[in-house]
Amino acid sequence: MSPVPEPDDARLLARVVAGDERAFDVFYRRHQSAVIGFHLRRTGRRELAFDLTAETFATVVATCDRFDPERGAAVGWLFGIAANKLRESLRRGRVESETRRRLGHQRIVLDDADLERVDELASETDEALLHEHLAALPTAQRTAILARVVDERPYPEIAAELQCSEAVVRKRVARGLSALRTRLEGAR
């Protein structure tokens, strides 16, 4: 008995439109690595590549009813979305850079060790220490960190909920993590 082949991408997207979550899962797993690689090669930043990949596939879900197989292959449509998300991100980055330069602020760069330290604290038995440090942050920063780092929600979703721009959410997360890192280093 031979295995049943998976449907092609166009059929998967048609099934997604019909509400078949499994079809989206198959489409996502089939193309996830390629889309992450696309974004990673162009940005050189893992976190940004994963964010852009999430935004790409969220757009696929939101707009798959507009996919027309007669206009081209689903994979071309998918990478068109990925390229648009990348362009939007680059545009946002330029706006953020210009604003930072105008205000005289330096960009806050967090490395993997900073994020790993937050993860370590979250997994330690004494979570009270983490909650104490989080509670000391301004409410806006704490809310953004919990939504992005703990709940792993995408920036656009958080921005919509908080009724602000993605740039503001990113700034709150970056500043909050920077302040949290400073507090944690002082606690060592």
Q: For the chain of 188 residues, list the mean pLDDT of each consecutive stretch of 10.
A: 72 92 91 90 85 90 92 91 89 65 62 63 51 83 85 87 88 83 66
Q: How far apart are CA 68 and CA 63, in angstroms?
A: 11
In CATH terms, 112-187 corresponds, of 1.10.10.10, 3.40.50.300, 2.60.40.420, 2.40.280.10, to 1.10.10.10
Task: Count CA within 13 A, CB hemisphere, residue 85.
Answer: 28
Q: For position 81, what pLDDT does the model report?
A: 93
Q: For position 94, what pLDDT does the model report?
A: 64
Q: How far apart are CA 172 and CA 108, in angstroms?
A: 11
Q: For position 125, what pLDDT does the model report?
A: 36
Sorted by where each begins, the domain ranges of the chain are 9-103, 112-187
Instruction: State in words which class domain 9-103 has.
Output: mainly alpha
Helix (H) or strand (E) holding 92, with range, is: helix 74-103
Check residue 19 and give left, alpha or beta (phi > 0: left; psi -120 to 50: alpha): left
Number of C-beta neighbours around residue 142 at 10 A = 18
Q: For position 50, what pLDDT does the model report?
A: 87
Please report, for residues 72, 108, 175, the alpha-carbon distance to residue 93 in angstroms, rounded to integers and kept in the order given. 31, 13, 16
Q: For position 153, what pLDDT does the model report?
A: 85
